[in-house]
Amino acid sequence: MSQSEIISHQSKMHAPLFVLSGPSGVGKTTVVEEAIRAVRYPLRRAITATTRPPRPGEVDGRDYHFWSVERFEDALGRGEMLEHAVVFGRDYYGTPRAEVDPFRTAGVGVILVIDVQGAAQVRARYPDDHRSIFLLVPSLAELERRLRARGTEDEAKLARRLDTAGRELARAGEFADQVTNDTVPNAVRELTRIINDEFQARGYEPCSTS
C-alpha cells in the first residue's frame, strides 16, 4: 500500500476527533452546539463526567454525567476514561471512552469540550489523530463580565475561575487553531469551517441538505 493509500484507509476507520478548550465562561457550549447544527457531517459533543453538583437546569446525561467521587474513581481504576483532570482544584472532570470510540467507529465525529489539562492528555494519546481548537475571549475583563452575567458562581468560585482562565489563555498556542469568540455568529462560522475542512480532508462526503 502506498503512503497515501494507508492514510486514506486509516482515515476511513475513524471519524474525526475534535478537542475544544477555552476559559470557563467564554461560551464554549453555545458555540459548539450551534456549530454541530451547522456542520455538514455527522458530529456529536461527548457528554463528559464530573463530580461537581449540577447547576439549576442542568440534566444528568444531557449536560454531564453527574457522578459521585466513588463512581468516578472506579471508572478511572477500570481504565474507562479517555482523559481526566481535577479542574479548579476540587472536582473531577473526565471523558468516558464510551462517549467517543463507538461513535467514531460508526462514522460519527466527536467533539470534546474539555480543559487544557485534558486536551494535553488527548494530544499525548492521539498525537496525529485529532484537531485541537482553543476558543479565545477578547479580554479577561470581558470574560469576567460574561461570568458575572451568567451568575452561577459566588465570588470565591468566580475568582478561582478567573485565575484559572489567565493560566489557560497562556496555553492557547498549544492548540492547532485559535478562534476568538467576539460574537457568537463569528465564532460559530469559524469553528464550522474548521470542522468541515477536517472531515473533507479525511475524504468524508457532506450530508445532503434538504
Which residues here bind ligand 5GP, judged by CB under 6 A? 24, 28, 48, 52, 83, 85, 87, 93-95, 113-115, 117-118
Instruction: For the CB of residue 64, give the shortest distance to ligand 5GP in the complex, in Å.
Output: 7
Question: Residue 98's CB: how many other CB atoms inside 10 A?
Answer: 15
> Beta strand pairing status for 65-66 and 49-50?
parallel
Instruction: For the CB of residue 201, give the shortest distance to ligand 5GP in the complex, in Å.
Output: 25
Closest residue by beta carbon to ligand 5GP: 118
Which residue lies nearer to ligand 5GP by CB, 115 or 198?
Answer: 115
- If you count them, how many residues does the chain have? 210
CA distance 52 to 176: 29
Instruction: For the CB of residue 52, give the shortest distance to ligand 5GP in the complex, in Å.
Output: 6
Which residue lies nearer to ligand 5GP by CB, 24 or 132?
Answer: 24
Which residue lies nearer to ligand 5GP by CB, 86 or 207?
Answer: 86
* Strands annotated E in the chain: 17-21, 43-45, 49-50, 65-66, 81-87, 91-96, 109-113, 131-136, 177-180
Q: Which residues contact 33 (CB under 8 A, 6 or more apart)?
A: 45
Instruction: For the CB of residue 39, give the shortest distance to ligand 5GP in the complex, in Å.
Output: 20
Which residue lies nearer to ligand 5GP by CB, 7 or 91?
Answer: 91
